[in-house]
Amino acid sequence: MAKPVNAFTCTACGATHRKWAGKCDACGAWNTIIEEAPLSQGPGRGLGTLKGKPVPLSGLATQDAPPPRAQSGIAELDRVLGGGLVPGSAILVGGDPGIGKSTLLLQAAAAFARSGQQAIYISGEEASAQVRMRAQRLGLGDAPVRLGAETALRDILTTLDAERPDVAIIDSIQTLWSDQIEAAPGSVSQVRATAHELVTFAKRRGTAVILVGHVTKEGQIAGPRVVEHMVDTVLYFEGERGHQFRILRAHKNRFGPADEIGVFEMTGGGLSEVANPSALFLSERGEPSPGSAVFAGIEGTRPVLTEVQALVAPSTLASPRRTVVGLDSGRVSTILAVLEARCAIPFAGLDVFLNVAGGMRVAEPAADLAIAAALLSAREDTSLPADCVLFGEISLSGALRPVSQAENRLKEAQKLGFSRAILPSATKGEGLAGMRIDRTPDLTSFVGDTFGAG
């Protein structure tokens, strides 16, 4: 039997090490390894005596109807959950401090309670009076939410076990502590243990448990990655500080499509839903200007139009700036390299700034063509046609690859008044009546057709 050793755990990936090190071998992160009390030791003699009880096994063809989902009535939230809250599911909502997690979940608790669900909100960060005051300010004072302020896991579980609510919200997982673990609240072992207990409770009692988790500066939920694996659904609440808009994005969902987004606006009266995000993200667009291209994207199951903005200026630096906000910077470097190598359009000696308007984040490769168009338009100081959207993936050879759901993208563009689209030649479908479709096989022809001689 191995002698019990103090475990050293990486806070980024959850890997355990026998001794402290500056760098985690498993994930390569620096300064993330911390010392923890050893996990409780099992019998340690293997499972030779096998005293367990048999697990009931069943076939795949069971006819159980899927349990009804609980809808909050906040459509943007229900959509991100995959159509509502599944009873007995565990959900983690992550986000930067101050982004609006507590506000969102208080509004959600009130909405669930008003639609006839039993909802309990446990705050470990604020006193009940504070939460009540906020609820009143948000006009939720009359919602039948049951409120508690507690951080001791044992007391919380005892309460939940007695009340058996339909939904329990725990704000936040970093404030909870279990008396079984000798470590401070917020430490890896506490977060892991308390999350595990709450997820187990959810499965056993059929209560949907929503955990709030703060994220670290690196953008990960503080505590080990294992918490993300334990829960059924991981949602991130994102947004730029300077913007009103907040995006709730499903990173993982066992009960619905990942990458689904819900869009909210932070107002004086709390978060309000944004039913038409495309109109919102394009609302700041004025006259056509160089460096602006409209991308017809798909977020989850719904088309969303966004504006990609580029600025290209002579650089005084030896290695020019590449500042990218809202897009994948690796992707942008690739596009710059393809423009240089395949179309002979160099960006050496030029600073490049790229941004997605409205604080939106775009991860689809389908945005490649719009990014290239914005870059070229900025470099050539020529505006793209104002009524034109673009989409298409750029391969390393400079060819344009078709992307999925072309028709949905075009329909959304038409709905918002766009009458022209530039897309890869191989795109399936006929296009829409009343919309001019320009099909291009590769980046070189796109440059020639749109900006004159490349």
- C-alpha 202/C-alpha 88 separation (Å) is 5
Contact partner at residue 286 from Mg ion, ligand TYD, none, CB < 5 to 8 Å by partner kind: none
Contact partner at residue 97 from Mg ion, ligand TYD, none, CB < 5 to 8 Å by partner kind: ligand TYD
Q: Is the dihedral of CA 397, 423, 347, 343 positive or negative?
A: positive
Q: Could you say whether residue 239 binds ligand TYD (CB under 6 A)?
A: no
How many CA atoms, within 13 angstroms, populate the side-chain half-sphere of residue 311?
10
Q: Could you say whether residue 346 binds ligand TYD (CB under 6 A)?
A: no
- C-alpha 397/C-alpha 412 separation (Å) is 30
Q: Least distance from C-beta 120 to ligand TYD, angstroms?
A: 18
Task: State how far Cα 159 lies from the chain centre.
Answer: 31
User: 224: Cβ–Cβ under 8 A, 6 or more apart, which residues?
Assistant: 9, 10, 11, 12, 13, 14, 188, 191, 192
x/- track of binding to ligand TYD for residues 375-394 (CB under 6 A):
--------------------
Residue from 82, 165, 270, 277 binding ligand TYD (CB under 6 A): 270
- C-alpha 339/C-alpha 373 separation (Å) is 11
Residue from 134, 196, 285, 420 binding ligand TYD (CB under 6 A): 134
Q: Could you say whether residue 213 binds ligand TYD (CB under 6 A)?
A: no
Contact partner at residue 303 from ligand TYD, Mg ion, none, CB < 5 to 8 Å by partner kind: none
- Contact region for ligand TYD (CB under 6 A) — 97-105, 272-280, 313-321, 374-382? 97-105
Q: Least distance from C-beta 335 to Mg ion, angstroms?
A: 38
Q: Which residue, 82 or 239, has its beta carbon nearer to ligand TYD?
A: 239
Q: Which residue, 268 or 286, has its beta carbon nearer to ligand TYD?
A: 268
Q: Could you say whether residue 95 binds ligand TYD (CB under 6 A)?
A: yes
- C-alpha 379/C-alpha 127 separation (Å) is 55
Q: In this structure, how many other beta carbons lie within 10 angstroms of the beta carbon of residue 83?
A: 14
Q: Could you say whether residue 101 binds ligand TYD (CB under 6 A)?
A: yes
Q: Spell 251-277 as b/e; 16+ CB within 10 A means b.
A: eebebbeebbbbbbebeeebbeebeeb
- C-alpha 435/C-alpha 287 separation (Å) is 21
The residue assigned the tokens 């690859």 is 401
x/- track of binding to ligand TYD for residues 21-60 (CB under 6 A):
----------------------------------------
Q: Which residue, 103 or 395, has its beta carbon nearer to ligand TYD?
A: 103
Contact partner at residue 99 from ligand TYD, Mg ion, none, CB < 5 to 8 Å by partner kind: ligand TYD
- Contact region for ligand TYD (CB under 6 A) — 27-35, 91-99, 175-183, 430-438? 91-99
Contact partner at residue 4 from ligand TYD, Mg ion, none, CB < 5 to 8 Å by partner kind: none
> 16-17 and 33-36: which strand pairing?
unpaired
- C-alpha 379/C-alpha 253 separation (Å) is 41
List 307's β-bridge partners, or say none: 294
Q: Least distance from C-beta 172 to ligand TYD, angstroms?
A: 8
Is 101 annotated as ligand-binding? yes
Q: What is the dihedral of CA 83, 88, 94, 99, to 10 degrees?
A: 60
Cβ pair 435, 364 in contact under 8 A: no
x/- track of binding to Mg ion for residues 86-125 (CB under 5 A):
----------------x-----------------------
Q: Least distance from C-beta 93 to ligand TYD, angstroms?
A: 9
Q: Which residue, 10 or 93, has its beta carbon nearer to ligand TYD?
A: 93
List 33's β-bridge partners, or say none: 10
Sheet order of strands, 16-17 included:
16-17, 7-10, 33-36
- Return residues touching Mg ion (CB under 5 A): 102
Interface residue list for ligand TYD (CB under 6 A): 95, 97-103, 134, 138, 266, 268-270
Residues annotated within the binding site are 95-102
Binding-site residue ranges for ATP: 95-102
